[in-house]
Structure 1
Amino acid sequence: MRIHLDKRIIGLGGLVLLLSAPAATASSLENLARSLAKMRGEVETLQTQLDLEKEKHTSKMSSLNSQLADLSVEERRQKLSIEKLQHSIDKLSEGAKKAEQSGETLKPVLLAALADYKRHIQTGFPFKMEDRIKAIDDLVNNITNHLIDPNKAVNQAWSLIEDEIRLSKENGIYQQTIPLNGEKVLVDIAKLGTVFLFFQTRDNQSGMARRAEDGSWKYELVDNTADMERIKNLFDSLKKQIRQGYFELPNPLRK
């Protein structure tokens, strides 16, 4: 009797095992389905992020291409400006040779070259304009009033124009008075060749010089923290004599 009962118990145990197997399988499938749904959601999220990054990249490349076009236009403008200055130097050299030490013959050639040079400054890069124009006016005054020998004046004019060409190749920090919000303000400026000019005020405001539609220049303050930090990094680097490398800056050429 006991043996027969044990067999029944064993049989029931096997039945329990057989009955529980489908339930376990169903639970595993349910868990797998949940895992797949979760993974599908994560994939969709990642795909959305990827699409957004692609859009950002496309937008950034478009912006960079636009800025590159602006820089190319400015580069051509600077090259033309330098060519004009070089032409002025050549004209002075030719005039000096033709004059053959004759001051009165040389004077009109020299005054014409200085007039061209002055117009170049008045319509060009807004770096210490008053000082540069004053240097020309002083030389013109000395020539006109016979206070300087014309041949010596040629050398001075030559030096001024060569300084202008060198100015287009130099980067550095200077001080300059600029019109800002209706007032004359002394600021620190970071000059990058004769293309970009950024400034910082004594009360830690930052800005840049931008060419207006009429060709004149205006000074604008930047109003966001990111651009202020970019300009600050530029000043810090120039103060440390770091004049080469990668700098991300606000674009004054952008309309």
Structure 2
Amino acid sequence: MLWVVGLVFAGTTQASSIENLARSLAKIRGEVEALQTELDLEKEKHASRITALSSQLADLSVEERRQKTAIEKLEQSLKQLSEVSRQAEQSGEQLKPVVLKVLAIYKQYVLSGFPFKIADRIKAIETLEDNITNQHVDPNKAVNQTWALIEDEIRLSKENGLYQQTISLDGEKVLADVAKLGTVFLFFQTRDNRTGMARQSESGEWRFEITKSSGDAERIARLFDSLKKQIRQGYFELPNPLRK
């Protein structure tokens, strides 16, 4: 009788162990499936990020080519101005219309281009135009001044830095700190802690937009902090104003 009871007990114990093992395997299987699902999601996120970065890189390449073309046009104007200056020798009457034509081209470039201190840049052009028109400056000297203005514009496209300028934000004029990266990126911070960037619409019009993402605001803040510390090279993760 005792032997039979022992067999029954042993069988019950074995069955219990098998059930526990089965439950453990089921739990492990569930964890593996969960990890596989998480891995698949991470792969999808990674693939999406690579696609997004590739798209941004393409945008930047297009913008770089556009800026390069604009600079080449300005450089061509400089060459034209230099050639005419040599041919005209001391003839102010021959120089005057050519210089004014180059200044008109330059002025249109500024008005329709990158929104960095446009008022100041236009004022410098118009002051020189007035001086030439009213004969307040010698034509040969005007050539040198025009040359200097356009060289400043070319240098502007290659420099990064912190500046202050008045921007139009939500219909009002606001004095802001701006971080200029060449003539492609322009980020801003206002005194009331609003941050954002200059963005060009499909029609070509530039406007200043407040960033809606706290992450983007932090990235812009880090850029300003680095530039204030004179760190002008390195890796910066920034919101992309070229993205539509």
Q: Which amino acid aligns with 1:51?
A: D
Q: Which amino acid aligns with 1:44?
A: E
Q: Distance in 1 between matches of 2:110 and 2:225?
A: 29
- Is 1:25 matched with 2:14? yes
Residue 157 (structure 1) aligns with: 146
Q: Which amino acid aligns with 2:207?
A: K
Show CA shifts across 1:204-228 (max 9, x none): 0111111123211111111221111
Q: Distance in 2 between matches of 1:38 and 1:181?
A: 56
Q: Distance in 2 between matches of 1:146 and 1:219?
A: 39
Aligned pairs for 1:1-255 (under 5 A) are 19-255=8-244
Q: Distance in 1 between matches of 2:12 and 2:201?
A: 78
Q: Distance in 1 between matches of 2:13 and 2:42?
A: 43
Q: Distance in 2 between matches of 1:66 and 1:29?
A: 55
SS at the partner of 1:242? coil
Show CA shifts across 1:110-143 (max 9, x none): 1111111111101110000010011011111111
Larger deviation: 245-254 or 85-94?
245-254
SS at the partner of 1:227? helix
Show CA shifts across 1:131-187 (max 9, x none): 001101111111111111111111111111011011001111100001111111100
Q: Which amino acid aligns with 1:195?
A: V
- CA shift, 1:48, in A, is 0.8
Q: Distance in 1 between matches of 2:182 and 2:34?
A: 47
In structure 2, list runs of 5 or more residues that go unmatched.
Answer: none
Q: Which amino acid aligns with 1:39?
A: I
Q: Which amino acid aligns with 2:139?
A: P
User: Which structure's CA Rg is the greater one?
Assistant: 1
Q: Distance in 2 between matches of 1:57 and 1:232?
A: 26
- CA shift, 1:25, in A, is 2.5
Q: CA RMSD in A?
A: 1.5
Q: Which amino acid aligns with 2:226?
A: S
SS at the partner of 2:168? strand
**How many positions carry a matched residue from both structures?**
244
Normalised by the length of structure 1, the TM-score is 0.91
SS at the partner of 1:244? coil
In structure 1, list runs of 5 or more residues that go unmatched.
Answer: 1-10
Show CA shifts across 1:22-53 (max 9, x none): 33322222221111001000001001101111
SS at the partner of 2:230? coil
SS at the partner of 1:172? strand
